A and B are shown apart, each in its own frame.
Chain A
């Protein structure tokens, strides 16, 4: 690819303590993620896929190496700036869906939108927004949540709580939630691992479709060959390093 990378990691290194020893989860990995990418991180368990996705998604920080987001070094970001970047630029899909159990499907999708900062208001208005049954812009947020649920094939399930949804439906809600704030990239850590093979196919097709229709990049960690089949690019990891010639 000749485009400018959205994310560019160089010599990414990460170690974890395990008892008295340290485990080398990543050993100087170079990786680029481009706009509209559909990148699969392939490898066996313990190869460093999840660690790499955590670093790229700003969920964790590398011990060594640099990670640039659209050319800017992410090491200079404060904790709050990293949170804001995740909220505004990234989306996340987890293996276990990680939906909030007390929220309905639509509310789960709407939640990241509610995290957006509100303009500073007098304390009375701020208090009113906490107490109000419908926060400001609630109709816009609600409409977008419904639109996203419809886009992932869950029209009519807006008011259903996660515990009443199937695994595939929950993962669709998670995908809709990941799309909520118009991200440039969605990170999916083993998105099909908790799904049966038919549902996994459907979910992967949905991700591919959203990637193509909306131009949002996907970075998926997996050892599922179906993911690799659909990926535009694949990075194979082994023992925390990129396998030579496997990209």
Chain B
């Protein structure tokens, strides 16, 4: 006989009540674990989207480009691109190096002219390190040597452009003059963010540099790492290596640049944090009633134990142990329930409506996050221990003769 055994026997002496309380806790646990899994899945998706939309794990640019807006095209552009690329590609931690030129211009087709957000890329590198090429749903991704462009679905619709349509791109060069080139639409990309879809235009890096009259110049260099967990270390090392080669660049890791990701993350944490707190209060109130009944029914027993010499603290701690043990057992049941629901959700391919600012829905998916399960179990155990603490402390401090006379 030990205190744990006694606690378990006391839990099981009223099966129905313990099952009801355990059910509430298991439901609370499952809500916690599933919300945590869904949140983690969403964060992973958002992070991957942010990194694979061109940010890369680590990004190099003129240090001013991270803090200031360019007043002229490629004002903060990186020269000596070839040397920088060579250094970055040589590092064993680097998987893909993606040089990019970012600029704004006017695109004309069939008598219509619209502004666009242009991006000159290395098509082959983008195909390996970015999700944009995969989003081309009509036609093909860029060819480095062709005078062709890929445009967003929204822009294509607004221009009434199709595959093979001729477009004219007009932009301000780095020295402030206007330049124009002709190109053909090679592909149309399905971009989920509506505003971006209506402005997106990608073209091969040499063609962009030609349009901007800026040979061997890029806006920034995004780097995809083989081991994303070591971003800060890799960033510091690569900057050092560039410096040793005579190229001084600023560096940021993706978290510092992914403003949308950070905002959504904070929003999710706030929403789920609030819901979690409400859930805990509901579990607390629901279980407190059962605990109160349990303590009340055992008032005479408490009086007996005190008469036998048990200190109030021991009696209170026994009830806390019972609460925590019931919380633990219910959490195990909740974990099983969570795993079953997670499995059911993940195989059912439930499509959710498009999130704000997006044109595409997404398939709901839930991850199994051990830390969320651990946090949920801890929260449930503490909640039940607290729900037990207050009535138990009150009963343990009541006059013994009153407890013994309790009917």
Question: How many whole Å from A182's CB to the nearest CB in chain B?
Answer: 13
**Which residues from chain A contact B300 at a C-beta distance below 8 Å?**
98
Residue of B nearest to A89 (CB): B309
- Pick the contact of B307 from A80, A92, A102, A107 — CB < 8 Å? A92
B5: nearest chain-A partner, CB-CB: A133
The one of B10, B311, B399, B401 in contact with A80, judged by C-beta atoms closer than 8 angstroms, is B311
A130 with B2: in contact, given A59-B404, A102-B10 (CB under 8 Å)? yes
Q: Which 3 A-B pairs have the closest CB atoms?
A: A87-B309, A102-B9, A98-B304
- Minimum CB–CB distance from B219 to chain A (whole Å) comes to 58
The answer, yes or no, to whether A88 is at the interface (CB within 8 Å) is yes
Contact of B1 among A60, A88, A107, A181 (CB under 8 A): A107
- Give the docked Cα–Cα distance between A215 and B111 (Å): 117
Contact with A along B284-321 (1 / 0, CB 8 A): 00000000000000001100111111111010000000
Alpha-carbon gap, A177 to B310, bound state (A) = 14
* Listed A/B pairs (23) with beta-carbon separation below 8 Å: A57-B307, A59-B307, A59-B400, A59-B404, A60-B401, A79-B311, A79-B312, A83-B306, A83-B309, A84-B311, A85-B309, A87-B309, A92-B307, A94-B304, A101-B13, A102-B9, A111-B305, A111-B308, A112-B309, A115-B308, A130-B4, A134-B2, A135-B1
A100 adjacent to chain B (CB < 8 Å): yes
Chain A residues with CB under 8 Å of chain B are 54, 57, 59-60, 79-80, 83-88, 92, 94, 98, 100-103, 107, 110-112, 114-115, 129-135, 138, 177, 181
A83 pairs with B310, CB closer than 8 A: yes
- Does the CB pair B308–A86 fall under 8 Å? yes
B309 to A103, Cβ gap below 8 A?
Answer: no
The answer to the question of B3 belonging to the interface, with a C-beta cut-off of 8 Å to chain A, is yes
Q: Say whether chain A's binding surface is mostly helix, strand, loop, or mixed.
A: helix
Decide: A92 and B312 in contact? CB cutoff 8 A: no
Interface size counted on chain B using CB atoms at 8 A: 25
Q: Is B6 an interface residue (CB 8 A)?
A: yes
Instruction: Kindly list chain A residues whose C-beta atoms are within 8 Å of the C-beta of B5.
Output: 133
Bound form: Cα–Cα A80–B314 in Å: 11
Is the pair A60, B400 in contact by a Cβ cutoff of 8 Å?
yes
Q: Which B305-349 residues sit within 8 Å CB-CB of chain A?
A: 305-312, 314
Min CB distance A196 to B, Å, is: 23
Q: Is the CB of B2 within 8 A of A129?
A: yes
Give the interface centre of B305, B309, B311 by most chain A CB atoms within 10 Å.
B309
Question: Inside 8 A of A88's CB, which chain B residues have their CB?
Answer: 309
Q: Are A60 and B399 in contact (CB under 8 A)?
A: yes
10 further A-B pairs in the complex, CB-CB below 8 A; given A59-B401, A87-B309, A98-B307: A57-B307, A59-B307, A83-B311, A84-B309, A86-B307, A101-B13, A102-B10, A103-B1, A130-B4, A133-B2
The distance from the CB of A136 to the nearest CB of chain B, in whole angstroms, is: 10
Cα–Cα, bound, A103→B308 (Å): 15
